[in-house]
Amino acid sequence: MALRSQVVGCGGYLPAKIVTNDHLTSMVDTSDDWIRQRTGIAERRIAADDEFTSKLGLEAARAALDHAGMKAEELDLILCATSTPDDTFPATATKIQAGLGVGRGAAFDVQAVCSGFVYGLTVADSFVKAGQAENVLVVGAETFSRILDWTDRSTCVLFGDGAGAVVIKAANGNGTATDRGILSTHIYADGRHHDALYVDGGPGSSQTTGHLRMQGKEVYRHAVVRMAEAIDAALEANGLTPGDIDWLVPHQANLRIIESMARRLNLPMDRVVVTVDRHANTSAASIPLALSEAVADGRIQPGDLIMIEAMGGGFTWGSALVRW
């Protein structure tokens, strides 16, 4: 017998406002062609003025709890992976908790930028395996539109707003890769790459306002290498091979990166969940949003083996292997 973190529900939320590539051509010197060819992005969602990260996260949390058939009162822990919190403090997770109308359990944020959801899953899994929590909500929620420099064409076309969430429940398994739940997580960081992707200010002790700055090529180069390493680590830890994977649910930053990961795993693109075309890069929200979409439309079925991978500012990166 071994404790496993089963994923028993998932859900997503996207703001209503759709901004197409053509729309952006009125703001910066860009084109629909350039954005589609270099990134695969066609459109993104942008939060309304009164929609903060906690609001998006709360909607996703409600959807995930509904899907799990679980009440918010049953949660022992609420984690919110975000780099765009409502406030410096308190944690956005506590605002989501209040929105759910509960006052029990623990709630805190996880900050690992685009790898935030994989980091959040890792924390949740560790709490479950340590016997510290039975039911955990992991939310990835972002409003990157608020930290973009809308005059910088090299970054403002790449991101969107949204939220996704999963509900995790402690269950007993047999300790093998046939168990349902999180089979393993691997997370990494190398803080020497700060300057490749960061926000030049924002809530914190150093500055007051800030915008996202990125050396895109540098991030791209590291992303393909690091995520491949994290995928290999996940397979090796479980005695599995690429042929065992049913679905790749990657962080959605750039279709070219996603395709190169799929090629490396020898997975046809119809086994890869892609949302970057419609959501753009929603940072910590991209994976739970993609997961929710593929579960809701029936692509992902019980028993399927799902490879999750992400890479983001820090650098941070990681993978998770989940038996659905």
**Nearest partner of 43 among 162, 158, 153, judged by Cα:** 158
Our CB check for ligand UT7 shows the closer of 44 and 153 to be: 153
Counts for the chain of helices (H) and strands (E), in that order: 10, 13
The smaller minimum CB distance to ligand UT7, of residues 114 and 285, is found at 114
Least distance from ligand UT7 to the Cβ atom of residue 271, Å: 21
Minimal distance, residue 298 CB to ligand UT7, in Å: 28
Binding mask 10-49 for ligand UT7 (x = CB under 6 A): --------------------x---xx--xx----------
Question: What is the amino acid identity at position 279?
Answer: H
Active site residue 251: yes
Catalytic residue among 10, 80, 114, 156: 114
185 binds ligand UT7, rule: CB under 6 A: no
Which H or E run includes 203? none
84 counts as binding ligand UT7 under rule CB under 6 A? no
Judged by CB under 6 A, which stretch of 80-88, 136-144, 215-223, 258-266 contacts ligand UT7? 215-223
**Two tokens, residue 140:** 């990835």
114 is catalytic: yes
Cβ closest to ligand UT7, residue 74 vs residue 259: 259
Neighbours of 108 (CB within 10 A): 15
CB atoms within 10 A of CB 215: 14
State the Cα–Cα distance between residues 71 and 321, nearest whole angstrom: 26
Does 216 interact with ligand UT7 (rule: CB under 6 A)? Answer: yes
- Any idea which residue has 């990657």 for tokens? 250
Using CB under 6 A as the criterion, what x/- string covers residues 249-288 for binding ligand UT7? ----xx--x-----------------------x-------
List, in sequence order, every beta strand (DSSP E) within the chain. Answer: 2-13, 17-20, 43-46, 77-81, 106-110, 135-143, 161-173, 181-189, 197-199, 212-214, 247-250, 305-312, 316-323
For ligand UT7, the binding residues in 118-147 under the rule CB under 6 A are: none
Residue 245 identity? I
Nearest to 303 by CA among 125, 181, 136: 181
* Site for ligand UT7 contains 114 (CB under 6 A): yes
Residues that bind ligand UT7 (CB under 6 A): 30, 34-35, 38-39, 114, 153-154, 157-158, 216-217, 219-220, 223, 253-254, 257, 281, 311-312
Catalytic positions: 114, 251, 281
